[in-house]
């Protein structure tokens, strides 16, 4: 959605409904087209990888790596209180961790749809934003699949619906899948890895995890590969509610290197460009926060490692909602966080990450006009700027410091 021009972003809910409807409608046609097997869209789907392995046992296996999770979080404190939104996201059910193993498997599109030799879409490893069933997957907007490129040996897919689009998803979706593979199949060294690696932050993450030493394949729109052996680790953060194992794995795998001299109190900026979820009166707010020891950090202006180091040193973080807050993953135990929201777009991702850190304290502040009964499913005006009275933010910060 954030790729839409600002003027069109209010149309997002209607556009998403139309996109899902088009996939359903076109799928009925594209699945029936007389296309050869190499180019035909999946004729059917399975909703879980266990079911995929059961239906095609001669080609598909599942390697289990870890238990599922069941989490019920305490409701966060903030203004306004008693918002319906938070009650709807406090429960998290995470399935077991696993790697799907497919002989002669297929990957298609920048969303990296997993397709079996039997022509089935494995939906569990091929999620897509807010679809309500496999018939709505955008693979069915294609009349035929692109000509496949054969990859010998073992290919691992770390790509997903958000590949290369957002720093949050690179940290929370892509990298943990590499952790699942290491956990389930230690010692496996793939011949190819399908993963986004062209953005500045992705290149740095590849180097930090050693993935840059392997042959990498970028998941582009018309990607079509046929792998001799395809390994697809599960994606456990589809709800963006931060399973605890992901936070723990990232804190171990991407440790800080140098926290000396870093500020203990951070204000994380979104910059000054309109319609970017910036804090409108930032200069005035910083005049109030500076005497309390806060320093301004622009995550996009420093390296990934420097972002990790800054957050690892921070005892207090104040910020408008934005992808840079995924670095809260690396914050110390006892960190205190105040997240600022525009009135029509809330997101629970950084509350969830903060909740995974021992002894942490999280607060939120939503700008007017507030919608206390706003359901979690209503995603509107994602890029709206945040216009809060800086004095109200200061009061919330002082309350946070005293908590």
- Give CA–CA dist 299/307, Å, rounded: 6
Alpha-helical regions (H) of 105-199: 167-169, 175-184
DSSP annotation string for 199-236: SHHHHHHHHHHTGGGS-EE---TT-EEEEEEEEEE---
Listed residue (257, 365, 347) closest to 311, CA to CA: 257
> Which pLDDT tens digits describe the chain residue by residue (403 residues)?
445 555 555 565 677 788 899 999 999 999 999 999 899 999 999 999 999 999 999 999 999 999 999 999 999 999 999 899 999 999 999 999 999 999 999 999 999 999 999 999 999 999 998 899 999 999 999 999 999 999 999 999 999 888 778 999 999 999 999 999 999 999 999 999 999 999 999 999 999 999 999 999 999 999 999 999 999 999 999 899 999 999 999 999 999 999 999 999 999 999 989 989 999 999 999 999 999 999 999 999 999 999 999 999 999 999 999 999 999 999 999 999 999 999 989 999 999 999 999 999 999 999 999 888 888 877 778 889 999 999 999 999 999 999 8
Instruction: Give Cα separations from 46 to 95, 234, 359 (angstroms).
Output: 16, 15, 41
Task: Specify the pLDDT at position 3.
Answer: 53
Listed residue (15, 39, 16, 44) closest to 28, CA to CA: 44
Strands, E assignment, 37-196? 44-46, 60-66, 69-72, 77-79, 91-94, 97-108, 113-115, 120-122, 149-157, 192-194
DSSP annotation string for 3-43: TS-GGGGGGHHHHHHHHHHHHHHHHHHHTTS---TTTPPPS
- Give CA–CA dist 88/376, Å, rounded: 6
Q: What is the dihedral of CA 113, 115, 121, 127, to 10 degrees?
A: -20
Task: Specify the pLDDT at position 1.
Answer: 46
Residue 341 φ/ψ, nearest 5 degrees: -125, 150
Rg, Å, the chain Cα set: 22
DSSP annotation string for 311-353: HHH-SEEEEES-GGGGGGGGPPTT-EEEEEE-TT----HHHHH
Who contacts 325 (Cβ-Cβ below 8 Å, separation ≥6)?
268, 317, 319, 339, 349, 350, 353
Please state the domain extents for the chain.
Answer: 6-76+96-239, 265-402
Residue 96 φ/ψ, nearest 5 degrees: -60, 155
Chain-centroid distance of CA 156 in Å reads 19
- Give CA–CA dist 271/40, Å, rounded: 46
Q: What is the pLDDT of residues 289-304, one digit of tens each?
A: 999 999 999 999 999 9
Task: Specify the pLDDT at position 196.
Answer: 96
Task: Specify whether the CB–CB gap between 194 and 174 falls below 8 A.
Answer: no
Instruction: Give the per-residue SS3 of 361-393.
Output: EEEEEECCCCCCCCCCCCCCCCCCCECCCHHHH
| CATH class of residue range 265-402 | alpha beta
Who contacts 170 (Cβ-Cβ below 8 Å, separation ≥6)?
164, 196, 199, 201, 202, 205
Q: Give me the half-sphere count of Cα atoms (radius 13 Å) on the Cβ side of residue 400.
A: 29
Listed residue (388, 341, 389, 335) closest to 362, CA to CA: 335
pTM above 0.75, yes or no: yes
- Give CA–CA dist 94/274, Å, rounded: 37
Chain-centroid distance of CA 202 in Å reads 14
Task: Specify the pLDDT at position 372.
Answer: 86
Task: Specify the pLDDT at position 12.
Answer: 59
Q: At what angle do helices 390-402 and 282-289 cross, to 10 degrees?
A: 40
Listed residue (94, 112, 253, 122) closest to 179, CA to CA: 253
Q: What is the pLDDT of residues 253-271, one digit of tens each?
A: 999 999 999 999 999 999 9
């Amino acid at each position: 959605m954030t790729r839409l021009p600002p003027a069109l972003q209010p149309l997002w809910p209607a556009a998403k409904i139309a996109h899902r409807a088009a996939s359903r409608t076109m799928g009925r046609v594209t699945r029936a087209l007389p296309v050869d097997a190499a180019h035909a869209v999946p004729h059917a789907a399975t909703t879980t990888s266990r079911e995929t392995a059961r239906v095609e046992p001669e080609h598909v296996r599942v390697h289990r790596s870890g238990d599922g999770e069941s989490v019920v979080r305490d409701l966060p404190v903030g203004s306004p209180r008693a918002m319906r939104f938070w009650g709807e996201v406090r429960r998290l059910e995470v399935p077991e961790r696993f790697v799907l193993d497919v002989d002669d498997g297929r990957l298609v599109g920048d969303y990296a749809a997993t397709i079996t030799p039997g022509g089935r879409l494995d939906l569990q490893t091929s999620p897509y934003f807010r679809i309500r069933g496999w018939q709505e997957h955008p693979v069915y907007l294609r009349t035929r699949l692109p000509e496949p490129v054969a990859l010998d040996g073992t290919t691992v897919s770390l790509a997903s619906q958000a590949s290369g689009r957002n720093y949050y998803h690179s940290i929370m979706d892509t990298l943990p899948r590499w952790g699942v593979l290491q956990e389930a199949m230690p010692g496996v060294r793939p011949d190819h890895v399908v993963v986004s690696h062209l953005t500045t932050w992705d290149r740095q993450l590849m180097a930090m995890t050693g993935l840059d030493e392997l042959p990498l394949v970028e998941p582009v729109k018309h990607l079509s590969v046929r792998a001799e052996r395809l390994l697809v680790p599960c994606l456990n953060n589809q709800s963006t509610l931060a399973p605890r194992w992901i936070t723990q794995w990232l804190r171990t795998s991407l440790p800080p290197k140098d926290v000396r001299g870093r500020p203990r109190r951070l204000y994380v900026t979104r910059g000054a460009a309109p319609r970017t979820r910036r804090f409108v009166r930032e200069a005035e707010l910083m005049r109030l926060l500076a005497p309390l020891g806060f320093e301004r950090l622009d995550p996009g202006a420093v390296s990934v490692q420097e972002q990790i180091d800054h957050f690892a040193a921070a005892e207090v973080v104040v910020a408008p909602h934005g992808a840079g807050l995924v670095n809260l993953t690396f914050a110390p135990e006892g960190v205190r966080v105040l997240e600022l929201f525009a009135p029509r777009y809330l997101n629970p991702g950084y509350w969830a990450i903060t909740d995974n850190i021992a002894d942490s304290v999280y607060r939120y502040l939503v700008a007017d006009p507030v919608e206390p009964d706003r359901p979690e499913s209503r995603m509107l005006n994602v890029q709206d700027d945040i216009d809060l009275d800086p004095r109200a933010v200061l009061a919330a910060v002082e309350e946070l410091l005293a908590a």
